[in-house]
Amino acid sequence: MRTIAVTRELNAGIGNCELTFLPRSEIDFGRAQQQHQDYQSALASLGCETVVIPAPSGLADSVFIEDTALVLDDFAVMLRPGVASRRPEVAGVAEVLRQYRLLKAIEAPGTVDGGDLLRVGSTIFAGLSTRSNQSGIRQLSNIVSDYGITVETVETAKCLHLKSAVSEVAPGTLLINPDWVSSSTFAKFELIPIDEKEAHAANALRIGADVIYPSSFPRTIDKLARRGLNVVPVDLSELQKAEGAVTCCSLIFSTP
């Protein structure tokens, strides 16, 4: 099996990105491009074949490709992002994913951002957030239930997406910010709390036995390393100004 990482080029208009919890600050486009390049190199160094989709003009947030689709083993679900400005991103991603998977879709009035979907084994935890609504989560649940996958809704309020608050760093081991999401929801898993001085540190991208992770959270990196995890640090400081993180810049899946 090959591991594919689909990414999307950074849009020159990223300075006009959507922002929910952060104030707007200037993004250095050249630096952001270099950081995005380094992120893609990190994916390649871990054995991923990267497929890069061009970014059409006008789609300021298109680099955050995770929010447009959920790729599962047998099919992919094209999502319907919670903000209208991001919905035109979906079509270009669908064109690429249809080469690998049968496509299903979330329809209006449902909305789901991929950042709200945390898959752990046969469960998808779905964040009910400013971006993902009951209708979207219900549709997703109906789509995946035929394939033995269960959807559990998790309320989020203090952060953009569920995966801002919790992500998987090893099979059955979750990195969590317990101030942003209830630990009791994930009681059956091994939990690693982030360092409390690094509120945004719970988003990690697991690629097999390795974890791509922002270099801006050194205290939490120490914690992960002490647990024996192999952390591959990437500097994403410019994309973090756009409320981006490591999971949101790729769609990762296996293909023969």
The CA-based angle 101-167-204, given to 5 degrees, is: 90
Residue 248 as a binder of ligand CIR (CB under 6 A): the answer is: yes
Residue 244 as a binder of ligand CIR (CB under 6 A): the answer is: yes
What CA dihedral angle connects 38, 205, 85 and 68, to 10 degrees? 110
Which lies closer to ligand CIR via its Cβ, residue 60 or residue 229?
60
Which lies closer to ligand CIR via its Cβ, residue 101 or residue 214?
214
Residue 64 as a binder of ligand CIR (CB under 6 A): the answer is: yes
Binding residue for ligand CIR, selected from 154, 242, 251, 252, defined by CB under 6 A: 242
**Residue 54: Cβ-neighbour burial (10 angstroms; 0-12, 13-18, 19+):** exposed
36, 161, 200, 249: which is the annotated catalytic residue? 161
Residue 117 as a binder of ligand CIR (CB under 6 A): the answer is: no
Residue 161 as a binder of ligand CIR (CB under 6 A): the answer is: yes
Which lies closer to ligand CIR via its Cβ, residue 51 or residue 83?
83
Question: CA–CA distance from 40 to each of 203, 211, 240, 246 (Å)?
Answer: 17, 14, 16, 11
Kindly indicate which of the ranges 142-150, 190-198, 212-220, 242-250 contains the residues binding ligand CIR, using the contact rule CB under 6 A.
242-250
Binding residue for ligand CIR, selected from 97, 211, 243, 251, defined by CB under 6 A: 243
Residue 168 as a binder of ligand CIR (CB under 6 A): the answer is: no
Per-residue binding string, ligand CIR, 195-224, x by CB under 6 A, is ------------------------------
**Is 161 in the active site?**
yes
- The span from the CA of 240 to the CA of 252, in Å, is 20
Question: In angstroms, what is the C-alpha Rg of the chain?
Answer: 17
- The span from the CA of 132 to the CA of 110, in Å, is 8
Which lies closer to ligand CIR via its Cβ, residue 20 or residue 134?
20
Which lies closer to ligand CIR via its Cβ, residue 61 or residue 238?
61
Which residues in the 75-104 window bind ligand CIR by CB under 6 A?
86
The CA-based angle 38-41-43, given to 5 degrees, is: 115
Q: Are 237 and 36 in contact (CB under 8 A)?
A: no
Shortest gap between Cβ of 98 and ligand CIR (angstroms)?
22
Which residues in the 15-34 window bind ligand CIR by CB under 6 A?
17-18, 20
Shortest gap between Cβ of 145 and ligand CIR (angstroms)?
24
Instruction: List residues near ligand CIR by CB under 6 A.
Output: 17-18, 20, 61, 64, 66-67, 86, 114-115, 161, 242-245, 248
**Among all residues, which ones are annotated catalytic?**
161, 248
